[in-house]
Structure 1
């Protein structure tokens, strides 16, 4: 646009010079006020033309700048969206990793646990005035230490005589009490086993049993708490 303005300016001056060539000698003797009026009349339209041309050029540059800003805004918006997607993907990956870590931790804990099972429970040997009851336990899991047994309702002979310092894998243990010392066997019995697992973490196993008419206990429920 500047080149067009220069070309038009040159053509304008050339046309003015061509038409007023014979009047140029009069400029030397022309009074200053008339000289100023001459140049104002000649170059006034040219100055207005450059003013309009400058305004048009400024508008064009503003449109270009606006378009560039819009492009930058679009690029920034796309960048923000990509960042959001990246954050979302990272969050999902972190959650998946935490879930996998939790599962692995649970698996590791379970692998360190003992696995106590009751292989038999109920009346054993009996005499006329005394019945003897046994609970046979097997540890098919990891070794356990500091094993301590309690019952609900309380059977005094079990916590007093049944502390196992180290319950190895594959080993059996028998809990025994008699009716002469501890009274009649309860119809519903809860056996609680507390110990340390192979990671020295606290481990608790609970068994719920009921007594039948033959004085034999049957397991109704069991569970562990680490």
Structure 2
């Protein structure tokens, strides 16, 4: 199976006013999108960077500033941009004291991202950060043993269901999902046919999935 069955990650943007009360909503929207993109493991670092970049606009450009959050893929990296109209107030890595409550925003961004920078345009500045992922392609999946084993199973199902030479060897995302559901159902039938409790096995599989996901997110 190839990336025709993977996750499309189309760029999106969200205009907002730079106000402290907007930060929680922005973090929530970002978390939802990262979940849809299969990048939940980046949520904590991405939300932290987002909070600091928005706070930087509020502090140094001004409350109520028309601002835009833009999120996209830069190769296999997650890229977040904050656009604001002030081309003079540039973010910098300030050396704040360890017990200081302010002045450490961009240092936190640098610590939790792989790259960051500022781009000056005629009408605005763009402060951006990029976070590394485990993706094998911009619209691909994370490289891990669980996904690889599942792909082997789905590839086998696709071959068994092929009808005629004209059938494409490439699964669409929807077809891959239906194939995965059928594979899970067949495994439950197999367990029941061998005297096992299918519901208990499904519960154990769900628990194992959640534990694996938690470990991956750390």
TM-score range with shorter-chain normalisation?
Answer: under 0.3
Greater relative contact order (Cα 8 A, min sep 6): structure 1 or 2?
2
Whose strand fraction is larger, Structure 1's or Structure 2's? 1
TM-score, length of structure 1 as denominator length: 0.18
- The normalised TM-score by structure 2 is 0.19
Structure with greater Cα Rg: 1
